[in-house]
Amino acid sequence: MWPLRVLLCPDSFKGSLDAVQVAEAMAAGVRQVCPEAEVACLPLADGGEGSLQVLAQVQGGPQYRVPVVDAYGQPLEAPLLWLSERHALLEVATVVGLGQAGEGDPMQRSSAGVGLLIRQALDAGATHISVALGGSSVNDGGLGLLVALGAQLAPRAAAVWPTAQDLLSLQALDPDGLDPRLAQLTLTLLSDVDNPLCGPQGATRVFARQKGFAPPQQEALEAAMCHWATLGDALAGWSASAATGSGAAGGIGYALRLLGARQQSGADWMLQQLGAEAKLAWADWVVTGEGRSDLQTLGGKLPWRVAAWAQRQPVPVSLLSGAIDPAAREALQARFQGCFSIADGPADLSAMQAATPRLLQQAAASMTQLFCAGWRPPQP
């Protein structure tokens, strides 16, 4: 008899489990109900925070830690993952991530460490660098990154590296000192954030609050960001500030655009890197998920992209998330063959996080029971 082939490809449940742990808990639930099933785990990330860890765990490849600085200019070692001999992946969140920023003044944070990490990759021989955006604590328009790569500001920054505070007084940027190797570098910007640099949907208006910037700081930064957009676009000779992804990671996306980066959907890039098409073709049933599914999921977050890829085969795909926003449930049900969550109602957050592995296993078992009741093995 044909065994049920199940592909589990979740994102992480932030604050609870990484993607590998989520997939393992799901697999335990599937096997509990259907022990004869063939279960394959393909933990994923969306090209943002956690992407480097997932690729290193699933695909392997040489990984090195190199000295850079964090958002406050303090020494830090950050990872570089080599996807091939000349292609390096770096992740913004490992350098200037929200989790590392603490309670310090957000106006004193800089993206310089990301520029230093790019320089380290160049020194190691990279000719192609992919940058995973997302989860950053900075909002300096990428000025720190550009200065770390050789650009000069006027007036010069008060500290070693320019911060969001220096964005407020920016008069000019001189790109002549930029590392000449950048001219021959292929840069890929990995992000599913389509926001421009400034405006109602820009970096400051949409993301600054969650990074700890107070309302007065947000207003001042938005005006400064628009001024920076005028200067940068004039240097680039095109409206880079309006390009999709320029508002990602506090404007790091914009700095990369000015350096010639091309944006690619982080979720699609990850699926390509991990050979998802062949794995989806193998499966009879796919289960994906994330910590919380809501209206943003409909805009192209990882589970949405997994469903789109699965439909090409076609293979049924179900959603199992930590929680599902009721406002998005109807639209999600139109895309997925079943939408499930481990949170059935109000619950204590810390208790839910501690119980996530057990709840995931239980939910996956229930889903498997429902799916198997209507599944018929393909005819030989």
Pairing of strands 75-82, 38-41: unpaired
Distance CA 166, CA 230 (A): 16
Backbone dihedral angles phi then psi of residue 106, each to the nearest 5 degrees: -65, -20
Return per-residue pLDDT of the chain as tens, 380 residues: 679 999 999 999 988 899 999 999 999 999 999 999 999 999 999 888 889 999 998 888 889 999 999 999 999 999 999 999 999 999 999 999 988 777 789 999 999 999 999 999 999 999 999 999 988 999 999 999 999 999 999 888 766 899 999 999 999 999 999 999 999 999 999 998 889 999 999 999 999 999 999 999 999 999 999 999 999 999 999 999 999 999 999 999 999 999 999 999 999 999 999 999 999 999 999 999 999 999 889 888 899 999 999 999 999 999 999 999 999 999 999 999 999 999 766 556 666 678 899 999 999 999 999 999 988 877 66
What are the tokens at 52? 């480097």
Q: Which residues of 38-66 are buried (b: 16+ CB within 10 A; e: fewer)?
A: ebebbbbbbbbbbbbbbbeebeeeeeeeb
User: Which pTM does this prediction carry?
Assistant: 0.91
**All domains of the chain, ordered by start, with CATH?**
5-44+275-374 (3.40.50.10350), 51-266 (3.90.1510.10)
3-state secondary structure of 27: helix
3-state secondary structure of 129: strand
Q: What is the DSSP string of 302-353?
A: HHHHHHHHHHTTT--EEEEESEE-HHHHHHHHHHSS-EEES--S---HHHHH
- Order of strands, edge to edge, in the sheet holding 63-69? 63-69, 75-82, 87-91, 128-132, 186-190, 262-264
